[in-house]
Amino acid sequence: MSDESKAREEICRLARSLFDRGLTNGSSGNISARIEGGFLVTPTGASFGSLDPAQLTKLGSDFAYVEGDKPTKELPLHSAFYDTRGAKTGAVVHLHSTHSVAVSMLPEIDADCVFEPLTAYSVMRLGKVKLLPYFRPGDPAMGEAVRGLVGKRSSVLLANHGPVVAAKDLQAAVYAAEELEEVARLTLLTRNLGALPLSERAVVDLRRHFEIDWE
């Protein structure tokens, strides 16, 4: 099996896992992954629960269409992460996960750093999560908003929409998306309860030990 075929199978397997656990629903969400010479992207209007490896969209290194079904309309989000973060990004995952969307609507959250450092893994896998404003689904302005971060964030939360995470490879991107939903759930569960986040000293230790981006 070629590396591209393996990537196609892996995208579909992980997408199905996310769907089965309710982390996205219907035809919402999209995934992309870097392959030799270009990218694979989930098609527009496709459900994570029933993706066909042969129908994934293949794009060239310039994001030009090569073959497969029509790509997700939110491709500008993906290309913005690849362009601004370079070799750091091997995959991007966008979900409409329930707790993350709920947090994006809270009036008191800090747009520059949505989540308190509630757990070590939320710091390690996400860094600071930026809240971006609401955009119509598919609006190219979403990509421009990500480009405006000039590669400093690997995770963003779109208001009233959902999270987008970039990571070194597909597995890492899925883990990060899962972690974002988990810290969102913890945020809602502990809201107004006076929960104590990690200390600044603990966060600094994690940043140094795991070489985490934290700007």
Of 65, 82, 121, 134, which one is the catalytic site residue?
121
Which tokens belong to 109? 């959250």
Q: What is the DSSP letter of 40?
A: E
CA distances from 63 to 23, 79, 86, 142 (A): 27, 7, 14, 17
SS (H, E, C) 45-97: CCCHHHCCHHHCEEEECCCCEEECCCECCCHHHHHHHHHHHHHHCCEEEECCC
Is 82 marked active-site? no
Beta strands in the chain (DSSP E): 30-35, 38-41, 57-60, 65-67, 91-94, 130-132, 155-158, 162-167
Return d(Cα 214, Cα 195) in angstroms, integer: 22
Question: Among all residues, which ones are annotated catalytic?
Answer: 121
